[in-house]
Structure 1
Amino acid sequence: MAVYVKSLDAKHLVEIGLEGFYGPSAPARAQFNPNSYATQVGTDFIRNHQALGVDFASVHIYADSWISQTISDAHLQFTTSWMEAHIEDAEKYLGMPVIFSEFGVSAKDPGYNSSFRDALISTVYKTVLNSTKKGGSGAGSLLWQLFPDGMDSMDNGYAIVLAKSPSTSKLISLHSSRLAILNSMCSWKCNWGCRKKNALETILYHDL
């Protein structure tokens, strides 16, 4: 299907939309999966992304669904190791950028509080930025999910209404500004794997 899409539009970027679980092609990487069941669901992060026509890798992060719904620091530890493993593999085996295309934490989880949600978001943003500033494959992240006012009936627990979440809104704004500054240091011809300058590092990291 990726090749077919390319035959219609050669410039159309294609990705798969996987959770990111490791499979049979990389048994040593299964240690990074959140549980043993993840190896049995038919996805294989490395092998699937080697399919012809796929442009960038995608990964999800739902520690509260995969590990335990009860909020704990284990979620943050998993998030860091999960992201770093996929960034490394995108560089070493795939030669493509990786987007963490869904991540979040449900307000319905036992022990949930907004401070923990902010800590999780900060963990994701910091890991992406650590890769980006080195010219690595960590290319971005998509928070699941932002809601406008008045859509509360559709919230399954993951919704964030910026007007009601000032601390989270500030995190998102700050991260966007940092990425904009960092990307401005590259020319328009720069590819995802370029080596960015170390200038402005203090600005980017002074309060992480």
Structure 2
Amino acid sequence: MAVYVKSIDAKHLVEIGLEGFYGPSAPERAQFNPNSYATQVGTDFIRNHQALGVDFASVHIYPDSWISQTISDAHLQFTKSWMEAHIEDAEKYLNMPVLFSEFGVSSKDPGYNSSFRDKFFSTVYNTLLNSTKKGGSGAGSLFWQLFPEGTEYMNDDYAIVLSKSPSTSNIISLHSTRLAIFDSLCSRKCKWGCKKKGGLDTFLYRDEL
């Protein structure tokens, strides 16, 4: 299908849209899967993304669905190792950027609070910034999901309404600002990002701008 799409529109970016579970092509990476079931669902992050016509890798992050619905720091530890493993594999085996195309935490989870959601978002963003700083393959992230006011009736318990979530909104805004600053300094000749140092550290890791 990827090749077919390319035959119609050679400039159309194609991705697969899988969760990112590791399969039989890389049994040593199965340690990063959230549970034993993940190896049995028929997906294989590395092998699937080696298909001709696929332009970038995509991964989801839902530790509250995959590990336990009860909120704990284990979710944050998993998120960091899960992301770092996929960033490494995108560089080492796939030679393509990786987008964390869905991530979130349900407000219905036992022990949920907005403070944990902020920690979760910060973990995702800081892990990506570490890749950005090195000119790595971490290409971006899309949280699930953004709702405007008045549409909350469609909320699947993962939704964020910016005006009603000021602390999370600030974290999202700060991350966006950091990326915009980085982009303005980055050489377009870089493969995925800019390897410049010095002032970048200040822009990327200050708590406030």
Question: Given the two structures, how large is their TM-score scaled by the length of structure 2?
Answer: 0.96
In 1, are the aligned partners of 2:132 and 2:194 still within 8 Å (CA)? no
* Paired position in structure 2 for 1:148: 148
Distance in 2, Cα, partners of 1:57 & 1:51:
11
* Paired position in structure 2 for 1:199: 199
Any unmatched runs of 5+ in structure 2? none
The one-letter code matched in structure 2 to 1:155 is: N
* Paired position in structure 2 for 1:98: 98
The one-letter code matched in structure 1 to 2:78 is: F
Counterpart mapping for 1:59-208 below 5 A: 59-192=59-192, 194-207=194-207
Q: How far off is 1:36 after superposition?
A: 0.1
Figure out how many residues of one structure are paired with residues of the other and give that number: 208
In 2, are the aligned partners of 1:133 and 1:198 still within 8 Å (CA)? no
The one-letter code matched in structure 2 to 1:108 is: K
Question: Given the two structures, how large is their TM-score scaled by the length of structure 1?
Answer: 0.97
* Paired position in structure 2 for 1:4: 4
Instruction: Summarize deviations over 1:59-90 as a string: whole Å, max 9, x none.
Output: 00000000000000000000000000000000
Q: How far off is 1:189 after superposition?
A: 4.0
Distance in 1, Cα, partners of 2:206 & 2:37:
40
Any unmatched runs of 5+ in structure 1? none
Q: Residues 174 and 194 of structure 1: is their aligned pair in 2 closer, same or farther, counting only changes over 3 Å?
A: closer
Q: How far off is 1:21 after superposition?
A: 0.1
Q: Residues 16 and 171 of structure 1: is their aligned pair in 2 closer, same or farther, counting only changes over 3 Å?
A: same
Of all paired residues, the percent bearing the same amino acid is: 83
Q: How far off is 1:186 after superposition?
A: 1.9
Runs of 4+ more than 6 Å apart: none
* Paired position in structure 2 for 1:33: 33
